[in-house]
Amino acid sequence: MKKNESGITLMSLVITIIVLLILATIGATSGISTIRSSKLTKFTTEMKIMQLKVNDLYDTYTNNRSVTVNGTEYVGKGTDGEEAKPGIQTIGKDLSSAPQDKLNKASAGSGMDITTENGYRYYDAATIKSLEIDGVEGEFFISVPNRQVISADGLDYKGTTYYTLEQLPDGLYNVEYNKVDGNLSFETTSEVKNGTGKIHIVNISYDQYVNKWQVRYRLKAEEGQEENPWTITEDFTGNEFTIDVPTENLLKDYEIQIIHGDEIASEIKTAHVLQVGDYIDYDPTNGGTITTTYTSPQGTYHADESAAKADTSPNMVEGNGYADQSFSVSANTNGWRVLGVDEDTNQILLVSANIVQTIDNKGFYLRGQTGYEWGIKELNDICAIYGQGKGANGARSITVDDINKITGYNPEIAQCYDGEIYEYGNEVTYIKNESGIEYSASYGQNGIEEDETTIFKYFDENKNIWKLLNVGESKKYLSTAYFYFPNTLTTNKNGDTNGIDTDSVEYDLLSFATGQYWLGSNIIRVHTNYVGFGINYVNNSGVGFCGLSGSDGYIRSEAYGVRPVVSLNFAINISGGSGTPDSPYELK
């Protein structure tokens, strides 16, 4: 049979069909890829346009400028009163008007808490049109205060739905910025909430668009110490971040810096939650509901207590040794200031801004042996009536340790009365013999006083009475008395400032230039033939002590003011205000 040259073989037909199928598949795949690419381009383009617009609104918002939308003027964060105008953060519609299924999906898919409390508004097509934004067809959830843009519909890409630009995998969207000309800045605010300090990093601003940041922070090293290591946070978006500060670090400085990768970094700023001297609006009367009065009793008093005999009556009655003296919680303290943090309980300590006087506006008198034995208790009992206000966990008298913690004075290493018999830490043993009082000092001095009239009175803690030292008996005492000026930490007020400067907040807080007040701390001062017993005080210039009685029968009465110290419990919240006398931090 003759072969048909114009026909095609079965094999050729099969090959042709396969080729056509392959071409069709390639065309379909290319079409899908093109569709995906176009969707990605559209999504990123619209998100960029919206982000630029939100950045512009944010700049207007933070600088308190205005913008008009559909005839309505929106001004900064808004105004009140007769000229009330809405804030720029209220542009858009309430979230309740948004499709709730889209809201829920966008909130879950973006990982953002899209709520009215977080400043979010619904930007639908009508809102976008009113803002005269071209080239955008989608709808969005916008938070101007946080500069956050979230797509209401998201982008489905290879099985994953993306709602923000920063969610896109690397390579799909590169954040563009000018590494040389961009200016990165931020501000800080602080508060105490449920006993934990919080440093809020706010108003992060950058000339170019960057929406991912990191914070690095560390405790600022003390002078002469090595720098502490940085803590670097995970990426965060928006323009606000919070650092939690444990209670023991509330008064310490933190160094803080905002960074973006290795290319962008702000200046390093110093911030803290509170500082010594800040004013807090603590109210010891609790809104006038507390009117407690405390009367310090005179206690034991004997007209002949200075005579050459001891009080042999056991169980001395506690008191001040001078007279009944009353204090009222309603007395004006003119505010309360941060004194420090209790290292044992991590509670914030406040001290009265003014020195407290008696109801009849006098200083508190302490006298003689009774004043020495019971003075600290009486001071604490007086101060306790101020520790019943909101947020308080009790109150006590300010002590010399409180003062030393602020000034930096350490009596263990200071050279107060160096080489003298009454030098701090010197231990002296007294022995009564027929001639008088013989003493032996720990640093090698020995001597004897040839005075047959010498007496030696001491307090017997076991029997709660003052007794005379009899011939053949001995008594040992450790000297705990010292005096210093807070600026030099020596007994000379002129010299290098090693403590606190005389024009510092701390100097003003402790009233070194203007006040005299008791410190809730006993002292003992040894001499060659007698011992002085007294109480520390601040005396218009420095830290000193007042001798109230002596082993030789000496007695003295003095009057100084009182400074209550209030402990704030762990549940307190401190925010608002600026910590100044006219704008104290609010206690909530």
Whether 65 is in a domain gets the answer yes
Whether 173 is in a domain gets the answer no
Question: How far, in Å, CA of 139 to CA of 386, rounded?
Answer: 58
The burial of 142, by beta-carbon neighbours within 10 Å (0-12 exposed, 13-18 middle, 19 or more buried), is given as buried
Of the chain, the percentage scoring pLDDT greater than 70 comes to 85
193 and 46 within one domain: no
245 and 123 within one domain: no
283 and 267 within one domain: no
- Average pLDDT over every residue of 53-67: 86
| pLDDT level of residue 444 (50, 70, 90 thresholds) | very low
Whether 313 is in a domain gets the answer no
155 and 192 within one domain: no
- Average pLDDT over every residue of 335-352: 92
Least confident of 32-41, 67-76, 299-308, 389-398: 299-308
326 and 222 within one domain: no
The top-scoring range by mean pLDDT among 110-114, 129-133, 298-302, 382-386 is 382-386
Torsion of CA 540, 543, 548, 550, to 10 degrees: -140
Read off the pLDDT of residues 118-128 as tens digits, 9 standing for 90 and up. 899 999 999 99
Q: For residue 195, which of 396, 348, 337, 338 has the smallest C-alpha distance?
A: 348
Q: Which residues pair with 256 in a beta bridge?
A: 217, 269
297 and 361 within one domain: yes
Rounded to the nearest angstrom, the gap between the alpha carbon of residue 528 and the centroid of all alpha carbons in its chain is 48
Q: For residue 351, which of 483, 503, 538, 575 has the smallest C-alpha distance?
A: 538
Whether 176 is in a domain gets the answer no
293 and 247 within one domain: no
If one compares 366 and 205, the residue with the highest pLDDT of the two is: 366
| Sheet containing 148-151, strands listed edge to edge, beginning at the edge strand earlier in sequence | 120-123, 140-143, 148-151
Q: Which residues pair with 258 in a beta bridge?
A: 215
Of the chain, the percentage scoring pLDDT greater than 90 comes to 49
- Average pLDDT over every residue of 221-225: 85
Question: How far, in Å, CA of 518 to CA of 564, rounded?
Answer: 10
543 SS3 class: strand
Q: Which two tokens stand for residue 434?
A: 């027929």
- Average pLDDT over every residue of 224-249: 89
65 and 27 within one domain: yes
Whether 235 is in a domain gets the answer yes
pLDDT at position 449, please?
44
Give the distance between the most distant pair of CA atoms in the chain. Answer: 162
* Number of structural domains the chain divides into: 3
The CATH number of the domain where 199 resides is what?
2.60.40.10
Whether 514 is in a domain gets the answer yes
Domain range for 521 is 279-306+319-575
215 and 335 within one domain: no
260 and 160 within one domain: no
Q: Which residues pair with 67 in a beta bridge?
A: 74
Torsion of CA 249, 255, 258, 262, to 10 degrees: -120
Q: Which two tokens stand for residue 247?
A: 């209670």
- Average pLDDT over every residue of 545-563: 91
Residue 360 pLDDT > 50, yes or no?
A: yes
Note if the pTM is more than 0.75: no
